Amino acid sequence: MKSIAVLGAGPAGTAVALGLRRLGFQVCVVSEWRRFAALEGVSQRVLDALRGAGLNHALAVASEPSRRHARWNGEAHDRNVEFLLDRPRFDQGLRDDLHHAGVRLIEARVLGVRSEANGVIVELDGAPALSADFYVEARGRQAPQHDRSVGRAWRGPETLSLLNRWQGESGSSASAVESQADGWMWMARQADGRCYWQWTLDVAGTALPDKSALLDFCRERRWQSPLARAFFASQDERDLQLHARSSTAILTPVCGGDNWLRVGDAAMAVDPLSGNGIFQSLSSALQAPAVINTLLTRPERRDLALRFHQQRVEHLFWRFARLGRDFYIEEQRWAEQPFWQARRQWPDAEPLHADVDFASLRIEQAPVLRDGLVDLAHVVISPDQPLGIWHLNGVELAPLVSRLRTEPADQVLAPLSPEQQRHIRGWLLSQGYRP
């Protein structure tokens, strides 16, 4: 039985470990606890992704939904619903999911990884070295690049987030986001009085004081905001703490090799504005077990498996990058300010959604996931799905699209169930098909 070491027990690492375990691999996860307590606001989409990945213990710590107040482009609204994830409890839930699945967990810091003739050796701080046939890098955006020959990562505008955490008075949980001339602020409070305020700013365009004065600088900046003063109400700030972290969007140019694979934020990390960090992290992780299974059991498909993983990581990255760009474009008041100007123009000017045209659909062979492996199949290529769509609601699309070029839809779709017909017709209309 092949052994696999997963470095990191965040959502991506845990999802990969569970997927590999289901495929019958011997899996060991190595992780150290997060060095600071954080709170994350996530959407229903993220909770659905957690459920789909089988992370049920982690899912159980999500708070009740609450309205997120937003002040953007001079307008105030409460349209969005946000769930607050307490990261220490969430991380414990992820560990509980690993234990429940029978995955071995080592609490240790990784000192380094080296390849050997028969696999890899993971050097640990305070624990014996770990031998494995394969390893998964899932330690987030700060994960080191073990192979310097892969080239430099693609990076968005250099971005810093300053997180303040303190204990205030108990009350109802809530969250809010506010745009300002030099960045944007996210704030949240939990029912037990724990408060969080995060300022995301441009590294080059913001003059920051020395580290010793940064906490007072953040406090002063926070209380300049009428929204923050009203949101937190009390100025009681017991045990006030500060944590600075990079929020720069980053994409690794090579995300896999013969005995390793990068997933989650270690492969790509996006701007936190869209609130989809955990979702995109899981998106790249859910495909990884099949990619690894192919690399270890079907070495003749090595290039196909690595191409599948790399293409999907890159597709997700640029899609989320353009989604963040469009959020920044919505804020019109400070378009010429350094923070906003850089982010309104990155990564490019291409639209998030391309125009639909049924006549432009193409059928090509492309890598897909089949029975826990990466395989080749005919897929439908569209402007919005350049990697191709294989199945929709259990129906293979390429044969249908081929026939619809010359045959009426009623005849082509007749063998399908009513539910399948409804889904296929809806998709065809969304692609510009007109009978």
Residue with tokens 């193409």: 362
- Token pair recorded at residue 85: 């994830």
371: tokens are 């029975």
β-bridge mates for residue 185, sequence order:
178, 199
Quick check: 107 pLDDT over 70?
yes
Which residues, 6 or more positions from 107, have their beta carbon under 8 angstroms from its beta carbon? 31, 32, 33
Q: Is 12 a domain residue?
A: yes
Query: Residue 134 — very low, low, confident or very high, per pLDDT cuts 50/70/90?
Result: very high
Which pLDDT value is given to residue 333?
96
pLDDT per residue over 218-257, tens digit each?
Answer: 999 999 999 999 999 877 788 999 999 999 999 999 999 9
Residue 312 in any domain: the answer is yes
Instruction: Establish if 78 belongs to a structural domain.
Output: no
Do residues 50 and 114 share a domain?
Answer: yes
Percent of the chain with pLDDT over 70: 98
Query: Whole-structure pTM over 0.85, yes or no?
Result: yes
- Distance separating alpha carbons of residues 256 and 150, to the nearest angstrom: 10
Rounded alpha-carbon distances, angstroms, from residue 424 to 273, 378, 427, 431: 34, 17, 5, 11
Q: Is residue 414 part of a domain?
A: yes
How confident is the model at residue 301, as a pLDDT? 98
pLDDT at residue 64 above 90?
no
Mean pLDDT computed over every residue of the chain: 92
Do 382 and 285 belong to one domain?
Answer: no
Q: Are residues 130 and 256 in the same domain?
A: yes
Pairing label, strands 250-251, 268-269? antiparallel
Q: Is the pLDDT of residue 274 over 70?
A: no
Closest CA to 156 of 271, 41, 302: 271
pLDDT, tens digit, for every residue of 121-132? 999 998 999 999
Res 322: pLDDT: 94
365 and 418 assigned to the same domain: yes
Query: Does the pLDDT at position 18 exceed 90?
Result: yes
Instruction: Say whether pLDDT at 81 is over 90.
Output: no
pLDDT of residue 279: 85
Domain shared by 116 and 42, yes or no: yes
Q: How far apart are CA 35 and CA 33, in angstroms?
A: 6
Strands, DSSP E only, in 17-158?
26-31, 39-42, 66-72, 75-86, 104-107, 109-116, 119-125, 130-132, 134-137, 154-155
Q: Are residues 148 and 258 in the same domain?
A: yes
**CATH number for the domain including 59?**
3.50.50.60
Could you tell me if 97 and 55 are in contact, meaning their C-beta atoms sit under 8 angstroms apart?
yes
Same domain for 144 and 276? yes
37 pLDDT exceeds 90?
A: no
Domain count, the chain: 2
* Full domain range(s) for residue 379: 358-430
349 part of a folded domain: no
Judgement on whether residues 29 and 146 belong to the same structural domain of the protein: yes
- Domain identity same for 396 and 318: no
Question: Do 145 and 282 reside in the same domain of the chain?
Answer: yes
- CA dist 27 and 102 (Å) reads 9
Asked if residue 293 and residue 371 are part of one domain, the reply reads no
| pLDDT band of 142, cuts 50, 70, 90 | confident
Which of 317, 332, 347 terminates a domain? The answer is 332
Sorting pLDDT into bands at 50, 70 and 90, what band is 387?
Answer: very high
In our burial notation (b when 16+ CB lie closer than 10 A, e otherwise), range 24-42 reads ebebbbbbeeeeebbbbbb
CB 17 within 8 A of CB 27: yes
Confidence bin at 169 (pLDDT 50/70/90): confident
Answer left, alpha or beta for residue 193, where phi above 0 means left and psi between -120 and 50 means alpha: left
190, part of any domain:
no
* Helices (H), ranges, 331-417: 338-344, 397-404, 409-413
36 in a structural domain: yes
| Residue 264 domain flag | yes
